[in-house]
Amino acid sequence: MNKIYSMAILLPFCTMQLHSQDHQNLPAKWQNSQEFVSQNAKIKVSVPFGEPTSSEYKQKFKSAASNLLDSIYIWNWDTLSNVWKLTSSILYTYDTNNYTTSCLSRIYDGSLWDDATQDLFMYDGNGNMTSWRYQKWNGVFLENFAKQLLNYDRNNNLISQVTLAWDGVLWINIARLIHTYDVDNNQTSGLQQTGDGNAWVNVE
């Protein structure tokens, strides 16, 4: 089963969710009554992703080989030229268990794709996500921005969630959540802490 997680602390998951360099070819022009022709054996999903507005459309594609979400393309209506223009896209990659390992968002300037953000994920043997790392384009490369580390007990209950921010050299502790559970796996307590640079401080 494909797993996509949402992060509750600091940053949203996959702000603008993208796969490989091969997807850089500009797809056919979007029209309401026209099939969107994609590259590299992708299949159009008939239902639009999210609710289209009067000025934006989003279309998602699945891989013909794996049937997993491959990419999302976003068009915006150009009021000056009165045409739909491709503006951005999101590419996904997966591991051998079909868990999402990355989603890369890119911006299209009309001729070239520019990287914008990237989310990277790792999992344990039970399929629990153990780390999430968020990167932003700094004009030269995708630079670390934030990450979360997650730990679980033997029953796969989330027992700790640590959020860190990248200062350009080191990872700095920002926040931590600690959970405890009873024998029936019901959460019995939760502790929220913030990092002061040296130690964790409880949040009242």
- pLDDT per residue over 170-191, tens digit each? 999 999 999 999 999 999 999 9
Task: Work out the percent of the chain whose per-residue pLDDT is above 90.
Answer: 51
Assigned domain for 11 exists: no
pLDDT at 22: 29
Question: What CATH number is associated with residue 38?
Answer: 2.40.128.720
> Which one has a higher pLDDT value, 14 or 21?
14
Assigned domain for 15 exists: no
pLDDT tens string 30-83: 333 233 333 334 444 444 444 445 577 777 788 878 888 888 888 888 888 887
The domain containing residue 65 runs over which residues?
Answer: 21-202
Q: What's the number of domains the chain is made of?
A: 1
Q: Is the pTM of this model over 0.85?
A: no
**SS (HEC) of the chain:** CCCCCCCCCCCCCCCCCCCCHHHHCCCCCCECCECCCCCCCEEECCCCCCCCCCCEEEEEEEECCCCCEEEEEEEEEECCCCEEEEEEEEEEEECCCCCEEEEEEEEECCCCEEEEEEEEEEECCCCCEEEEEEEEECCCCEEEEEEEEEEECCCCCEEEEEEEEECCCCEEEEEEEEEEECCCCCEEEEEEEEECCCCEEECC
pLDDT at 60: 79
pLDDT at 48: 43
What average pLDDT is seen over the chain?
77
